Amino acid sequence: MSKSDERYLSTKKFLRKAIDEGARLRQYFLRGHGNWFALIFSLINFTLIFYNLLFKNLFFIPEVLKSFSVFFIVFGIIYFPIAVIVGWLDFKKGTYKAEQQLTRDISPIWKEVFNKLDSLEKQNQDVLESLKTIEVSQERLK
């Protein structure tokens, strides 16, 4: 193998490793940013806007309770349980099931997965029916 071929292969290996590492770091960044920081910063942003534009200007709230720290504590005590309840209601009684069905019907990947699951379910039902038939036959022989 010539020196230029060796250099080409080592460069190719280096670039492949750099691309793989870059893709991995990008994925870590997206998960960290999208799942955690964006959530935290959006909640902080939301509470600051809500506090400054509405809560501070409400005339019926005593001045003692108008500090941001008190508002933040009260907001957290009220907001998080309500958000959990609304999320639960969406999962159990809301649009979640319809969204999942739509995803199942539209996505080619999920179509294939669910078609295979449906065929497995049918095979399982066939096996159960066969077992019931065998059981009934054995009971008749007794």
Location of structure tokens 């902080």: 44
Q: Do 116 and 142 share a domain, yes or no?
A: yes
Q: Do 22 and 69 share a domain, yes or no?
A: no
Q: Do 68 and 113 share a domain, yes or no?
A: no
Q: Do 40 and 2 share a domain, yes or no?
A: yes
Q: Do 40 and 71 share a domain, yes or no?
A: no
Q: Do 42 and 70 share a domain, yes or no?
A: no
Q: Do 79 and 101 share a domain, yes or no?
A: no
As given in the structure block, the two tokens for residue 107 are: 């996505």
Q: Do 106 and 122 share a domain, yes or no?
A: yes
pLDDT attached to residue 130? 87
**pTM score, whole prediction:** 0.53
As given in the structure block, the two tokens for residue 123 are: 């095979």
Q: Do 122 and 84 share a domain, yes or no?
A: no
C-alpha 30/C-alpha 105 separation (Å) is 28
Q: How many domains does the chain have?
A: 3
Q: Do 85 and 126 share a domain, yes or no?
A: no
Residue-level pLDDT, tens digit, the chain, 142 residues? 788 888 888 898 999 999 999 999 999 998 888 878 888 899 899 999 988 888 888 888 888 878 888 888 988 999 999 999 998 998 888 888 888 888 878 888 888 888 888 888 888 888 888 888 888 888 777 6
What is the residue range of 19's domain?
1-53
Q: Do 116 and 105 share a domain, yes or no?
A: yes
- CA distances to 72, 74, 126, 142 from 51, rounded to whole Å, are 9, 11, 61, 78
C-alpha 12/C-alpha 6 separation (Å) is 10
Q: Do 90 and 109 share a domain, yes or no?
A: no
